[in-house]
Amino acid sequence: MKVIRNPQKLNRILKRISCERKSIGFVPTMGALHLGHLSLIKKAAKDNEIVVVSIFVNPTQFGPKEDLKKYPRPLKKDIELCRKSGVDFVFLPDNKTIYPYGYSTFVKVEGLSDLLCGVSRPGHFRGVSTIVAKLLNIVGPDIIYLGQKDAQQAIIIKRMVRDLNFPVKIKIMPTVRLADGLALSSRNAYLTGEQRKEAAVLSRSLSLARSLVQAGACDSSRILGRMKEMIRKKRQARIDYIEIVDLENLEKIKKIDRNCLIALAVKFGNTRLIDNTIINHA
Ligand code: PAF
């Protein structure tokens, strides 16, 4: 496994590999790797001859009051995990290489970026789509692997790839959960013992929504009401949003009469967790 910091060098090597008709699978990350990331890497290794993982805590996707400085950076451990998981190249650029002095070019997927998490994190998805566009240009992968846990991010990247004609396939892999249902996230590390226990309510509320739909409920406000009621019973939970939205355009829907996404963001203390489930309408 090679760790490469220079984008031009990585690009040169990977172009040569592509010319040999070897397929390249790419997993973009901000490090603090957990089993969720490892499931993406495993799938990338199964599907492709070459696996590239990027580790870059992207400053442009953090708001001024967010956790950029304290975001976990266990770099040695991450590199070791990559090595053990069969990664071929780790791309480890620094801020100045990615955003040199005078950097002024951004990619924003209009509309989709301002809904759901975009409301309380303005500018977040502009940062995400910009860095992913740059990484796609540097790595030139055949397939990019993303997690369903960041459903809105995946939908935005899909739209950007389509709109800007990036020659890459996208594979979205299921959310990896702990025994009590909590979705794996690097931010779980910030939770206190009590918050960690309470946070399991998020996946339980999504299961409740699924069972209500299975039992014939289709009125969004009724389903959302039951979910909120369940979450509000937890002392430390503060709901940012819970919404039922169209799976394509992320617009709120009143009635579940098509494929939709139930998405939520809830704060426990200062830690904001997200989770979601997809409902496929029969
Ligand atoms: O999901 C993440 O870890 C990040 O948003 C990503 C896609 C690596 C871009 O920085």
Comparing C-alpha atoms, which of 121, 119, 93 is closest to residue 4? 93
Pocket test for ligand 1, best of 34, 61, 117, 124 (most atoms within 8 A of CB): 61
Minimal-distance CA residue to ligand 1 atom 2 = 29
87-135: pLDDT as tens digits = 999 999 999 999 999 999 999 999 999 999 999 999 999 999 999 999 9
Can you give the pLDDT at residue 220? 98
CA of 128 to the centre of ligand 1 (A): 6
Please report, for residues 29, 67, 130, the alpha-carbon distance to residue 93 in angstroms, rounded to integers and kept in the order given. 12, 20, 15
Atom of ligand 1 nearest to the CA of 147: 1
Does ligand 1 come within 6 angstroms of the Cβ of 274?
Answer: no
Q: What is the pLDDT of residues 163-206, one digit of tens each?
A: 999 999 999 999 999 999 999 999 999 999 999 999 999 999 99
Query: Measured in angstroms, how far is the CA atom of residue 168 from the centroid of ligand 1?
Result: 17
Model's pTM, two decimal places?
A: 0.97
Ligand 1, residues 41, 78, 132: which to mutate, most atoms within 8 A of Cβ?
A: 132
Cα separation, 176 vs 173, whole angstroms: 9
What tokens does 216 get?
Answer: 């014939």
Q: Is the pLDDT of residue 281 over 90?
A: no
CATH topology assigned to domain 2-173: Rossmann fold (3.40.50)
Pairing of strands 50-55, 89-91: parallel
pLDDT tier, 145 (very low <50, low <70, confident <90, very high otherwise): very high
Domain 186-277 CATH (choose: 3.40.47.10, 3.30.43.10, 3.30.1300.10, 3.90.105.10) = 3.30.1300.10
- The domain segmentation of the chain, as residue ranges, is 2-173, 186-277
Distance from residue 236's CA to the centre of ligand 1 (Å): 27
